[in-house]
């Protein structure tokens, strides 16, 4: 996070200049601090959001705001290191961040979600409010949904938690923080009705965070992992990352299009 695309690394004069140059565009990485199995750090969701944001911002010439390291993670409280913030507070915090930036001429916001489906509900509520009350453009960029067209030649299964997708991505971006030798597989079983996976035609989207007792089973079985991190690859992580950076640059161009 030392590059000059990060807002916190600039002086206010540099921020002002960059605001004009970027047509008022800024990426807000939003993640979580929560358990990620035996092999990934608790900051994983925020870290992957930061990496995608940083690389896309360099390419597109826009800024990245300081990340929001906390998300809605009540279901992961069964394991240490997890911090959960109530969604009603997250909505208020994120709205104030957008409002502050808007006061200084930012008017195109990309909410880059590293915490998958759990953050989406409150991000949508905040984005709608910002559009309505401030008249700004807001897009939500969710890596799981924005990678539906990713060429998965690596044998990865569906989205879970600390699974092969997330593990590969972290392995590419933060090799020193990943402990693949400790990873524990926990293969998915197909759920009959409710099944969340963006690449699955029957994806129901209607996710409700698991209860403590449901999560205790997961914690005991695999240390909090759902999926098969043994299928992770560093090369796959790099390809996946590059795909997402490209898509994010496309989203920025979409926000610049005055006809939409
Ligand atoms: Zn995660």
pLDDT tens by residue, 43-96? 999 999 999 999 999 999 999 999 999 999 999 999 999 999 999 999 999 999
The region of weakest confidence among 19-33, 126-140, 209-223 is 209-223
- Asked whether residue 259 is domain-assigned, the answer is no
**Residues 100, 82, 245, CA angle at the centre, nearest 5°?**
55
| Distance in Å, CA 55 to ligand 1 centroid | 19
| Distance in Å, CA 45 to ligand 1 centroid | 5
| Distance in Å, CA 149 to ligand 1 centroid | 20
Q: What is the CA radius of gyration of the chain?
A: 18
Q: Output the six-digit token pair for 30.
A: 């939003």
User: pTM of the full predicted structure?
Assistant: 0.96
- Asked whether residue 121 is domain-assigned, the answer is yes
What 3-state DSSP class applies to 246? helix
pLDDT tens by residue, 113-167? 999 999 999 999 999 999 999 999 999 999 999 999 999 999 999 999 999 999 9
**Cα separation, 165 vs 161, whole angstroms:** 9
| Distance in Å, CA 35 to ligand 1 centroid | 8
pLDDT, position 194: 82
How many separate domains does the chain show? 1
What is the domain-level CATH number for residue 89?
3.40.50.10310
- Asked whether residue 1 is domain-assigned, the answer is no
| Distance in Å, CA 47 to ligand 1 centroid | 10
pLDDT, position 195: 83
| Distance in Å, CA 124 to ligand 1 centroid | 19
Judge whether 19 and 61 are in contact, CB under 8 Å.
no
- Asked whether residue 4 is domain-assigned, the answer is no
In terms of residue numbers, what domain contains 159?
19-253
| Distance in Å, CA 104 to ligand 1 centroid | 32
- Asked whether residue 47 is domain-assigned, the answer is yes
């Amino acid at each position: 996070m030392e590059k000059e695309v990060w807002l916190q690394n600039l002086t206010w004069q540099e921020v002002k200049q960059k605001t004009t140059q970027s047509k008022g565009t800024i990426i807000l990485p939003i993640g979580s601090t929560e358990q990620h199995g035996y092999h990934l750090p608790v900051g994983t969701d925020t870290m992957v959001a930061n990496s995608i944001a940083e690389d896309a911002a360099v390419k597109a010439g826009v800024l990245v705001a300081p990340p929001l390291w906390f998300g809605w993670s009540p279901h992961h409280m069964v394991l240490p290191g997890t911090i959960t913030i109530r969604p009603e507070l997250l909505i208020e915090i994120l709205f104030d961040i957008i409002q502050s930036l808007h006061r200084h001429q930012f008017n195109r916001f990309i909410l880059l979600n590293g915490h998958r489906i759990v953050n989406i509900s409150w991000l949508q509520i905040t984005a709608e409010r910002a559009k309505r009350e401030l008249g700004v453009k807001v897009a939500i960029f969710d890596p799981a949904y924005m990678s539906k067209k990713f060429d998965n030649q690596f044998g990865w299964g569906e989205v879970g938690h600390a699974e092969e997708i997330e593990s590969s991505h972290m392995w590419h971006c933060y090799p020193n923080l990943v402990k693949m030798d400790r990873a524990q597989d926990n293969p998915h079983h197909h759920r009959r009705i409710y099944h969340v996976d963006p690449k699955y035609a029957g994806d129901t989207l209607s996710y409700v965070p698991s209860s403590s007792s449901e999560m205790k089973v997961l914690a005991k079985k695999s240390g909090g992992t759902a999926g098969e991190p043994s299928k992770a690859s560093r090369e796959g992580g790099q390809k996946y990352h590059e795909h997402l950076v490209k898509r994010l640059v496309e989203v920025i161009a979409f926000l610049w299009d005055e006809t939409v």
